[in-house]
Amino acid sequence: MSEPIHDVVIIGSGLGGLACGTILAKEGYKVCVVEKNKQIGGALQTFVRDRVIFDSGVHYVGGLDKGQNLYQLFKFLGIMDKMKIRKMDEDIVDGLMFADDPKIYRYAQGYERFIKNLSDDFPGEEEAIRKYCDRIREVCSKFPLYNLQIGDFFDKVSVLEIDTQLFIESLTSNKRLQNVLAGTNLLYAGEPYKTPFYVHALVVNSYIESSYRFVDGGSQIARALTREILTRGGVFMKHTKIVKLKEEGGEVRYAETDTGQKIYGKLFISNVHPEKTLEMTESDLIKKAFRNRIKGLDSSISTFFV
């Protein structure tokens, strides 16, 4: 019996792979998602200790108020009404504390509330705080995909070189306020004088617009997307590690597992690191110089904290 040929084979079931799979399944493609681990979802996974659910990656999200970007994406994917969510305290989403200071500095939802809270904590600094917020919104407006619009690279080129730390320092000489404004850098592994301001802005803006947590954990996103794919004829293969992508005649013909199984498809999407994807891909069409270039790129910064 010959192996089935899937319309699309997606390697990796992280959020990117599941979102791609859902969109393609909604468009009528027969999707096969291949995952090397027991659980699907990548960073969307949860675990339980003493009957308490812990998120390993997605603790809370922004932009889920009606009409905002993540709300629109979830609605398009067909999962918005399937999420168990709860809006966080609008007066304090995050509270920042310092070892030498008992005060809690409050990050609020809504820009005016955000400005008022920090202005109360830092009398005389409202102008700096307002400039900070205005710049965040201006930078975010330059990114078409973030705003679910059509655009290109040149829309955002003017703001790519702004340094987060230097910009914050230009607003105020108050060191404590500088640290408070940069206080959520753990969310994106920010590094002083290295992380560009657009990274800071895109992350912080979402949470100021609105902040929600997932009741019973963020893994429900993965489960909901999985159901969307399965109900449209898609299949999932867990405990299946892809080690080779084989090209024949200018097209990838099949993905081969570590047990020698071949998974055939018309199209292939990799939801794993580009360097790892190239290591798996056997093809003379990919020039050695390009492989070396990708292999030589610095890995982006990551972080782990509890």
Predicted confidence (pLDDT) at residue 181 exceeds the cutoff of 90: yes
Residue 186's pLDDT band (cuts 50, 70, 90): confident
Predicted confidence (pLDDT) at residue 52 exceeds the cutoff of 90: no
DSSP 8-class letter at 21? H
Q: Pairing mode, if any, of strands 281-282 and 31-34?
A: unpaired
* Average pLDDT for the chain: 93
CB of 301 closer than 8 Å to CB of 185:
no
107 DSSP β-pair partners:
94
Predicted confidence (pLDDT) at residue 262 exceeds the cutoff of 70: yes
Residue 202's pLDDT band (cuts 50, 70, 90): very high
Mean pLDDT throughout 228-243?
Answer: 97
Lowest-pLDDT range of 56-60, 110-114, 142-146, 245-249: 56-60
Predicted confidence (pLDDT) at residue 32 exceeds the cutoff of 80: yes
Cα-based torsion angle of the residue sequence 28, 29, 34, 38 in order, rounded to the nearest 10 degrees: 10
Q: What is the pLDDT of residues 126-166, one digit of tens each?
A: 999 999 999 999 999 999 999 999 998 888 999 999 999 99
* Phi/psi at 236 (5° precision): -120, 140
User: What's the rounded Cα separation, in Å, for the pair 253 and 265?
Assistant: 6
Residue 59's pLDDT band (cuts 50, 70, 90): confident
Q: Percent of the chain at pLDDT above 70?
A: 99
Give alpha helix (H) positions in 94-243.
111-121, 126-141, 164-171, 175-181, 197-209, 219-230
Q: What is the pLDDT of residues 214-229, one digit of tens each?
A: 998 899 999 999 999 9
Residue 302's pLDDT band (cuts 50, 70, 90): confident
pLDDT in the model for residue 203: 94
Mean pLDDT throughout 44-68?
Answer: 88
pLDDT in the model for residue 1: 43
Mean pLDDT throughout 48-62?
Answer: 86
282 DSSP β-pair partners:
246
Mean pLDDT throughout 247-259?
Answer: 94
Predicted confidence (pLDDT) at residue 60 exceeds the cutoff of 70: yes
